[in-house]
Amino acid sequence: MVRSTRLDDPGPLLGLLPHQDSMAWVRRADGLVGWGTALRYEAAGRDRFVDAQRWWRGVTGSAVVRDEVGVPGSGLVAFGSFAFADEPGSSVVVVPAVVVGHRSGSGGSVWWVTTVSAGSLAPPPVLSSQPVRPPEQVSYSDGAMSGPAWAHRVREAVARIGATPLEKVVLARDLLVSTGHPLDVRWPLHRLAQAYPTCWTFCLDGLFGATPELLVRRERGLVTSRVLAGTIRRTGDDAHDLALAGALARSSKDLEEHEYAVRSVAQALAPHCASMNVPESPFVLHLPNVMHLATDVTGVIEPGDDASSLALAASLHPSAAVGGTPTDLALATITELEGMDRGRYAGPVGWIDAAGDGEWGLALRCGITEGPRVRLFAGCGIVASSDADAELAEAQVKFVPVRDSLGE
């Protein structure tokens, strides 16, 4: 039995999370948090998205739902996180026992709570904040390879781009963090949400982060995808940063990288849309530590097209923003040069409701807990004009959000 009821303002969403089984998808004050596990599904391999979609349809088709709220995200909801690659890696979809949601807009603000139980309707949970434990004895070490070794792989990738049909490839590296004791994931979640309020702060099954990139939102027939590719570091000097933003907007290397990413998203969404808007030029998205070239691709779902938000995310993955162009050659290059298993890094992460609406981001600016250890990830788009040392510096900058979130 599933029941959603309206709720008086209980305070910040992330403040409601318990220590165990926390799930979150929050931007500013809006989003969803959940805890407890009513249902869980794991998938792997090339068909992981199809299998998860089939399972979700079975769940929604048999559920008894009493939704007294009637907004996207109320009623039956699942959180999901998918592996980047077909092999190796596992993906997970979880229906929380409790979900608390908040939406604000021109129509006002609405809070709700959803409970899921196997038998009769569960009573509303008691909502309260709980103490959060900070990390202790934090230390860092290289992951699969050192910085200089990774920069050498970037040079190899640039050489291949000049000698093969490969146009762009995204290479990532990892950083290992020891925290002394298993991480209370709520600590970095709170800090990420506070420092990066325009990003989507997420958490599921040990994966956490704050992504600036919305892979796809489907809401009542409208589709949106925010594409990011092309990055420059901020200095903290407003005048200097404004000049840097202008340089980024004119950079042939970054515009080339961005064009590949926008093209891949538009091509994937086009079969599902009756109309689309693809801006000719990107805008510069300002974040506290970096600036990105960004484009918001929007569309109207074709009448009769029943593709859910998860199906749309599957059709978009892997976009050129996290894989490269052409896709198959880029993925093969990643496998050969990266030297690590990405797991769920750079894969879709987000939520879906019973109507198929939902939001899916790319798991970027993130980490994944492994007992008293955390793996952090950062990646860079490599094109013909890329400089290996500059890409290594960019990767270091992209580690900053999660590194800072684990600090004192």
Given a cut of 80, is residue 230 above it in pLDDT?
yes
CA 220, CA 172: separation in Å to the nearest integer? 35
Q: Which pair of tokens denotes residue 71?
A: 């907004």
DSSP for 240-304, written as a single string: HHHHHHHHHHH-HHHHHHHHHHHHHHHHHHGGGEEEEE--SS-EEEE-SSEEEEEEEEEEEEPTT
Q: Which pair of tokens denotes residue 16?
A: 């409601």
Q: Which pair of tokens denotes residue 385?
A: 């004009």
> In terms of Cα–Cα distance, which of 50, 21, 54, 25 is closest to 38?
21
Question: Rounded to two decimals, what is the model's pTM?
Answer: 0.94
Residue 109 CA, distance from chain mean position: 25
Helices 147-163 and 388-405 cross at an angle (nearest 10°) of: 130
> In terms of Cα–Cα distance, which of 264, 343, 279, 273 is closest to 303?
273
Q: Quote the pLDDT of residue 121.
A: 67
Q: Which pair of tokens denotes residue 389?
A: 């040392």
DSSP run (H or E) holding 49: helix 48-62
The residues near 131 (Cβ < 8 Å, ≥ 6 apart) are none
Q: Which pair of tokens denotes residue 271?
A: 């079969």
pLDDT band of 20, cuts 50, 70, 90: confident
Query: Bridge partners of 115?
Result: 3, 98
CA 248, CA 130: separation in Å to the nearest integer? 43
Q: Are the C-beta atoms of 315 and 251 separated by less than 8 Å? A: no
Half-sphere exposure of 385 (CA within 13 A, CB side): 8
Read off the pLDDT of residues 55-94 as tens digits, 9 standing for 90 and up.
999 999 999 999 999 999 999 999 999 999 998 889 999 9
Q: Which pair of tokens denotes residue 381?
A: 């788009």
pLDDT band of 181, cuts 50, 70, 90: confident
Residue 102 CA, distance from chain mean position: 19
DSSP run (H or E) holding 148: helix 147-163
What burial class does residue 63 get, using C-beta atoms within 10 Å of its C-beta: 0-12 exposed, 13-18 middle, 19+ buried?
middle
pLDDT band of 122, cuts 50, 70, 90: low
Given a cut of 90, is residue 106 above it in pLDDT?
no
CA 340, CA 375: separation in Å to the nearest integer? 11
Q: How many CB atoms are closer than 10 A to CB 221?
A: 13
The mean per-residue pLDDT over the stretch 353-380 comes to 95
Task: Tell me which residues are annotated as active site.
Answer: 168, 213
Given a cut of 90, is residue 130 above it in pLDDT?
no
Q: Which pair of tokens denotes residue 19?
A: 């220590």
Read off the pLDDT of residues 23-40 as tens digits, 9 standing for 90 and up.
999 999 999 999 999 999
Given a cut of 90, is residue 115 above it in pLDDT?
yes
Q: Are the C-beta atoms of 314 and 176 separated by less than 8 Å? A: no
Q: Is 222 helix (H, G, I), strand (E, B) or coil?
A: strand
Read off the pLDDT of residues 319-358 as tens digits, 9 standing for 90 and up.
888 999 999 999 999 999 999 999 999 999 999 999 999 9
Q: Are the C-beta atoms of 100 and 111 separated by less than 8 Å? A: yes
Per the CATH hierarchy, to which homologous superfamily does domain 2-122+135-405 belong?
Anthranilate synthase (3.60.120.10)
Given a cut of 90, is residue 118 above it in pLDDT?
no
The mean per-residue pLDDT over the stretch 108-129 comes to 83
Given a cut of 80, is residue 119 above it in pLDDT?
no
Q: How many CB atoms are closer than 10 A to CB 387?
A: 15
Mean pLDDT (the chain) is: 94
Q: Quote the pLDDT of residue 408.
A: 58
Q: Where are the alpha helices (DSSP H) in 287-347?
A: 309-316, 327-337
> What residue segments make up the domains of the chain, in order of their start?
2-122+135-405
Q: Quote the pLDDT of residue 55.
A: 98
> In terms of Cα–Cα distance, which of 14, 69, 394, 352 is closest to 232?
394
Q: Which pair of tokens denotes residue 85?
A: 């690659």
The mean per-residue pLDDT over the stretch 8-19 comes to 93
Give the range among 140-149, 183-192, 229-238, 346-355 with minimum mean pLDDT.
229-238
